[in-house]
Amino acid sequence: SLQDLRATGLLRDANLVAGDWIEADPETGIAVHNPADGSLIGYVPKLGRAEVAKAVKAAEEAQKTWAARTAKDRANVLRAWFDLMIAHREALAQILTLEQGKPLAEAAGEITYGASFVEWFAEEARRVYGETIPGHQPDKRILVMKQPIGVVAAITPWNFPNAMITRKAGPAFAAGCGMVLKPASQTPYSAIALAILAERAGLPKGLFSVITGSAAQIGAELTENPVVRKLTFTGSTEIGAMLYAQSAPTIKKLGLELGGNAPFIVFDDADLDAAVEGALIAKFRNNGQTCVCANRIYVQDAVYDAFSEKLAKAVSNLRTGNGMESGVELGPLIDESALEKVQSHVTDVVEKGGRVLAGGKPHALGGTFYEPTVLADVTSDMAVAREETFGPVAPLFRFTEEAEAIQAANDTEFGLASYFYAQDVARIFRVSEGLEYGMVGVNTGLISTAEAPFGGVKMSGLGREGSRHGIEDFLELKYVCLGGI
């Protein structure tokens, strides 16, 4: 229950600003609701520019001392943070499900996944190697140092309320940076819980602030403040582009993880059962609300009917409900407007001649629940071909030639994740090389992991998160020329 969760000390109606906790005032705070039943969870503070400026200043001071500590010392603090996240996995998962709606088992999976970035970057902290370069004159030596970029601003979305934070905070703190975070207003409690555990782990006072409030006001200060040297954002392409523009006058570095429109291609040499399993994961994980969710499923002629039949059957068996109930596989959508978008995409397909093979309407549970849906005979003139549905709808397009599938898959301004199923090795190389995407899943529907570089091309963003590359975005190169030797 809510009472039990509050007793853990991890569900707290407060922000951590410049090392001090600011409690929410229900009169002026932001109400946070459970998307499964609309019930009130609590209020979080509605803070603005002044608190952000204060947090940036505190992070600037704390960062200097933090960066001066040894990498191993920083790694130990991060390791303690990781251990606390794992030790409190159950409570963190419950908080996440309460505010976000995903099934509890999936939320627990997100906590493990989120914690893995803290663990990975704790390890990477000690491997930030510089260079020595042969000099260009006999009396000169060239050194390259890597130093933390300084204060980082982070703005994160509601679909992964834990992992989208750790994927940024892990490398930032490992590199020796400070961070001011603005989480999504729909899911602030997971972010606040992370701040509580960071404090317990011994992260220095002021190094990490978590601020909720008006996105526009907080965003304005984070982008205009010259002390902030990097902005890392995960969210919509629209807001990402706006923040990019807002950051131009102060020449900040940008890390952007934006929208996707992932193709999922099933070729005629694919293992169809494996492809169905992969499609279920790539499409229906988090109820279709991830930026790497399959948005367009292209199936080759010869296997189209067999694949659609198998997928429709598997999807009809998925259980939708309150994520707190055991056995539930799909939760609610995040809000009313998400439900409207999903319904409008389905209606558009049906009006233009597509067929509903499974689902196709709001769920009998009401609220923002929607039936897991499979649509056949979908064509490129329909809205689902161009826009991210962000819901449990699998639209099946038909194709004949391999080249046609690659061309259709690339026919979008986005370039985040892509997937395909095939057995032929030559085809696997041709298609992997032909897809204009930052990530390609071959014979798998699940690609995200701390070890690999996550990110997109085209309008899906800038930079990579995770892997050994993920820490580079938080470091600056300094060239030192030694003369007179």
Binding site for ligand ADP (CB under 6 A): 155-158, 182, 184-185, 215-216, 219, 235-236, 239, 243
Output the DSSP codes for 421-447.
E---HHHHHHHHHH--SSEEEES-S--
Nearest by Cα to 29 from 15, 8, 9: 15
Q: Which is nearer to ligand ADP, 215 or 447 (CB)?
A: 215
- Catalytic: which of 99, 199, 257, 371? 257
Q: Min. distance of Cβ 303 from ligand ADP in angstroms?
A: 34
Q: Min. distance of Cβ 264 from ligand ADP in angstroms?
A: 21
Q: Min. distance of Cβ 8 from ligand ADP in angstroms?
A: 25
Q: Which is nearer to ligand ADP, 222 or 382 (CB)?
A: 222
Q: Min. distance of Cβ 301 from ligand ADP in angstroms?
A: 35
Residue nearest to ligand ADP (CB): 219
- Whether 27 sits among the annotated catalytic residues: the reply is no
Q: Which is nearer to ligand ADP, 216 or 426 (CB)?
A: 216
Q: Which is nearer to ligand ADP, 236 or 316 (CB)?
A: 236
Q: Min. distance of Cβ 476 from ligand ADP in angstroms?
A: 24
Q: Min. distance of Cβ 400 from ligand ADP in angstroms?
A: 35
Nearest by Cα to 267 from 398, 365, 395: 398
Distances (CA, A) of 128 to 62, 148, 176, 291, 469: 21, 10, 11, 30, 10
Nearest by Cα to 301 from 399, 177, 444, 198: 399
Q: Which is nearer to ligand ADP, 148 or 235 (CB)?
A: 235
Residues found in the chain:
485
Give the number of other CB atoms < 10 A from CB of residue 407.
Answer: 12
Sequence letter at residue 33: H
CB neighbour class for 444 (10 Å; exposed up to 12, middle 13-18, buried from 19): middle
Distances (CA, A) of 222 to 10, 106, 159: 26, 32, 22
Output the DSSP codes for 289-351.
-STTSEEEEEEEHHHHHHHHHHHHHHHHTPPBS-TTSTT--B---SSHHHHHHHHHHHHHHHH
Distances (CA, A) of 41 to 7, 34, 393: 14, 6, 29
Residues marked active site are found at 257
